[in-house]
Amino acid sequence: MFDTVLVANRGEIAVRVIRTLRSLGVRSVAVFSDADADARHVREADTAVRIGPAPAAESYLSVERLLEAAARTGAQAVHPGYGFLAENAAFARACEEAGLVFIGPSAEAIALMGDKIRAKETVQAAGVPVVPGGRDPELADAARALGAPVLLKPSAGGGGKGMRLVRDLSVLDEEIAAARREARASFGDDTLLVERWIDRPRHIEIQVLADGHGHVVHLGERECSLQRRHQKIVEEAPSVLLDEATRAAMGEAAVQAARSCGYRGAGTVEFIVPGNDPSSYYFMEMNTRLQVEHPVTELVTGLDLVEWQLRVAVGEPLGFAQEDVRLTGHAVEARICAEDPARGFLPSGGTVLLLNEPQGDGVRTDSGLSEGTEVGSLYDPMLSKVIAYGPDRETALRRLRAALAETVTLGVPTNAGFLRRLLGHPAVVAGELDTGLVERVVDELVTTRVPEEVYEAAAAVRLQALKPRGTGWTDPFSVPDGWRLGGTPKPPAFPLRVQDPVTYTPRGTAEVTDTAVTVTLDGVRHGFHRAGDWLGRDGDAWQVRDHDPVADSLSQAAHAGADSLTAPMPGTVTVVKVAVGDEVVAGQSLLVVEAMKMEHVISAPHAGTVAELDVTPGTTVAMDQVLAVIAPTEEAR
């Protein structure tokens, strides 16, 4: 076994890899950018090395700096985690040339499977069924031959980025041009392929494990059909769709796909499966790395996949055959992301003020968080993963819903409450899944209404703060109990704001501590976690701020007749297309704000003139910060 391994990643996956290294007695080396100097993965590693400024291009994506860190710390091997350079063939080759073991497949296998077109051709030659489609340069002709709907995909892409569904072939040329722009911006390569779109498909993937001695096994499947914007958000093992015969057939197809590229290590072969005909499965792609959702496979097989990555990388043979693999029980995973469902799932950020991550009793949380963590806009929005295991699917789902209700990340809006409600949706409970389900039911699961008890709890916190402390005489006029000379007591009213401003007068009873609030309203008790002006329960959280009506009135007066454009999320302004004094038309693109790999275009709400412009390219902005003010034309007033 290795003595020292450098983990070329950050966040929850770095913490996850370090955990296994520690269990094996292997010294771990973390790397960090300036933004991550006090991150959890840095504190948990045996050694940590600064590799550059906050932007990933100057730190986590710098091959030179990573190799230098490995040399300085005596690392013998590099574990890439997922994301960043995990599927970068040039990085794997550079590690090998530097005398380091890359804990993953060969550079040749990464390059082959990273090219979706070559990958499809290779596995098809090995007898693996693929989705009918075509490629450049006959892309448009192939799409028209397939007939609508079709799916455009970047050949060099991954993770659902750059994919475009075309249901109307009259706009095919425009969609192809847009897909090329996205592919070029995301991957530096605008080569596309087109595939027949399968309506209401299920996304099922097979975990494979291969050693350097010719042994390849599969570890069963994972169902990954619950997705938003082609991004997985919930995964489970095994799938309720497959019977034993189909599982065995898909598993053998995945093994053949791995053999076709000389694969070594842990990898995943992804299939698209028609929900009404599970026997008709098609290869989509192979991920040449550890998957985000690997814990569900670990829980149902009892195998530590990171440990087996290490053992294979050091040259050990697999210690078991295909017939030794058993799937026991059921596991489900939910991805906790820094995003705000109430604001259209835009990326969020902030400081983690209060953290509770459930563990034990069939529940596991893989996380890179700790209290005080600053969640910024530079990296991927996934913060942690909550995984539940049970003897059957019903138990696993119930445990995961309960665990999400216990998950607290006050200070940073997350999707935990949304995921809890999704896992309780009748279609999910029944296992009637497909990749479009979440988008169809999202409006049922997201609410912008703030429950009255939230305001009651926020008012109770403020009322507690007003109460006099200490002993001795107290001026009766300073006690916030509504007492007045010769008058009827009137409780104080508090101007508050979550989204829209309200003036709230408490009418129940409350118990307030530094970390919790319990209110009783109309005979019902409601408990909240509390940190600063944040309140949370059942995975949901609200920041209840004080509202100053006078300040708002002054602000509205200052911008009378004009519209302020504000940042929809914390991030960085990457593009500014106008200047003060420019005339704009309704819908014109003015600025672009980027956060956590997502771009948001700020457009003119009406025709007018740019009266104020408070940002330039590179400006870091907070959520709701004013970016520009557009004075409307007479016609737009």
Residues 512 and 388 in one domain: no
- Residue 111 included in any domain: no
pTM of the predicted model as reported, rounded to 2 decimal places: 0.87
Q: Alpha-carbon distance 143 to 615, whole Å?
A: 43
* Residue 126 covered by a domain: no
Tell me: do 209 and 287 sit in the same domain: yes
Indicate which CATH number applies to the domain containing 53: 3.40.50.20
Answer yes or no: do 82 and 155 share one domain.
no
**Residue 17 per-residue DSSP state:** H
Backbone angles phi, psi at 597, to 5 degrees: 70, 10
Give the end of a domain, one of 150, 169, 196.
Answer: 196
Which token pair is 203? 């996304």
High-pLDDT (> 90) share of the chain, %: 76
299 and 383 share one domain: yes
Question: DSSP string spanning 461-486?
Answer: HHHHHHS--SSS---GGGSSS---TT
d(CA 163, CA 142) in angstroms, rounded, equals 17
8 A C-beta contact, residue 80 and residue 291: no
Task: Show the domain range for 533.
Answer: 464-546
* CATH code of the domain in which 191 resides: 3.30.1490.20
234-247 mean pLDDT = 96
Q: Does residue 75 fall inside a structural domain? A: yes
Tens of pLDDT, residue by residue over 306-355, are: 999 999 999 999 999 999 999 999 999 999 999 999 999 999 999 999 99
Model pLDDT, residue 185: 80
Residue 483 sits in the same domain as residue 606: no
Same domain, 305 and 426: yes
CB of 1 closer than 8 Å to CB of 75: no
Task: Write b or e for each residue in 607-637: b if 16 or more Cβ atoms lie within 10 A of its Cβ, otherwise e.
Answer: bbbbbebebeeebebebebebbbbbbeeeee
Tell the residue number behind the tokens 């053999």, with chain if given. 259
CA 492 to chain centre: 42
Say which residue the tokens 């025709």 belong to: 607
Burial of 377-391, coded b for 16+ CB within 10 Å and e otherwise, reads bbbbbbbbbbbbbbe
Same domain, 40 and 71: yes
Domain boundary among 140, 163, 196: 196
Same domain, 400 and 521: no
Cβ-based neighbour number of residue 493 at 10 Å:
12
CB 128, CB 253: distance < 8 Å: yes
CATH no. for residue 411? 3.30.470.20
Residues 583, 536: one domain? no
Q: Give a yes or no: residue 381 inside a domain.
A: yes
Quote the number of domains for the chain: 5
Strand pairing of 77-79 and 101-102?
Answer: parallel
Find the CATH number of the domain harbouring 604. Answer: 2.40.50.100
C-alpha 244: how far from its chain's center? 32
For residues 274 and 343, membership in a common domain is answered with yes
State whether 631 and 528 are in the same domain: no
* CA torsion through residues 583, 586, 588, 592, sign: positive
Sign for the CA dihedral angle at 77, 81, 87, 90 comes to negative
Q: Is residue 331 part of a domain?
A: yes
Task: With respect to residue 272, please indicate whether it lies within any of the assigned structural domains.
Answer: yes
The answer to whether position 122 is within a domain reads no
Yes or no: say if 463 and 517 are a contact pair by the CB < 8 Å rule: no
Q: H/E element holding 65? A: helix 63-73
Residue 52 domain-assigned? yes
My answer on whether 349 and 227 are in the same domain is yes
**Which pair of tokens denotes residue 87?**
């599927």
Per-residue pLDDT at 167? 93
Identify the bridge partners of residue 571 per DSSP, sorted by sequence position: 621
* Residue 64 pLDDT grade (very low, low, confident, very high; cuts 50, 70, 90): very high
pLDDT at 161 over 80: no
Choose the final residue of a domain: 395, 411, 445.
445
For 485-535, the pLDDT digits (tens) are 666 667 789 999 998 899 999 999 999 999 999 999 999 999 999 999 999
